[in-house]
Amino acid sequence: MNPTHDDERTRIRKATDRLLTGQATLSNGSLTATALAVEAGVHRMALMKRHADLKNEFYERVRTETRQVPEPEKRLRETVTRLKKTIADQNAEIQDLRQRITRLTLAAAVLTHDHDQPGPALKDIGNILHLRPPT
Q: For residues 98 and 120, which has the higher predicted lDDT (pLDDT)?
A: 98
Examine the fold and report which residue of 53, 68, 83 is the final residue of a domain before the chain moves on: 68
Among the three residues 44, 68, 92, which one is the final residue of a domain in this structure?
Answer: 68
- pLDDT (tens digit, 9 = 90+) per residue, 36-45? 999 999 999 9
CB-based contact 45:8 (threshold 8 Å): no
Do 11 and 41 lie in one domain? The reply is: yes
Domain annotation covers residue 34: yes
The share of the chain scoring above pLDDT 90, in percent, equals 53
| Same structural domain, 63 and 16 | yes
Instruction: Give 55-80 pLDDT, tens digit per residue.
Output: 999 989 988 888 888 888 888 999 99
Distance CA 49, CA 97 (A): 47
Average pLDDT over residues 120-133: 61
The rounded distance, in Å, linking the Cα atoms of 14 and 96 is 58
Contacts 24+ apart (CB under 8 A), 79-86: none
Instruction: Report yes or no on 130 lying in a domain.
Output: no
The verdict on residue 43 lying in a domain is yes
Number of Cβ within a 10 Å radius of residue 35:
20
| Residues 64 and 79 occupy one common structural domain | no
In a domain, 132, yes or no: no
Q: How confident is the model at residue 134 (pLDDT cuts 50, 70, 90)?
A: low
How high is the mean pLDDT of the chain?
86
Q: Please, are residues 33 and 55 in contact by the beta-carbon 8 Å criterion? A: yes
Which domain, by its residues, includes 86?
75-120
Burial of 22 (0-12, 13-18, 19+ CB in 10 A): exposed
Domains in the chain, number: 2
The answer to whether residues 27 and 60 belong to one domain is yes
What pTM was computed for the model? 0.56
Query: What's the confidence (pLDDT) of residue 50?
Result: 92
Do 10 and 62 lie in a common domain? yes
pLDDT at 10 over 90: yes
Residues 59 and 7 in one domain: yes
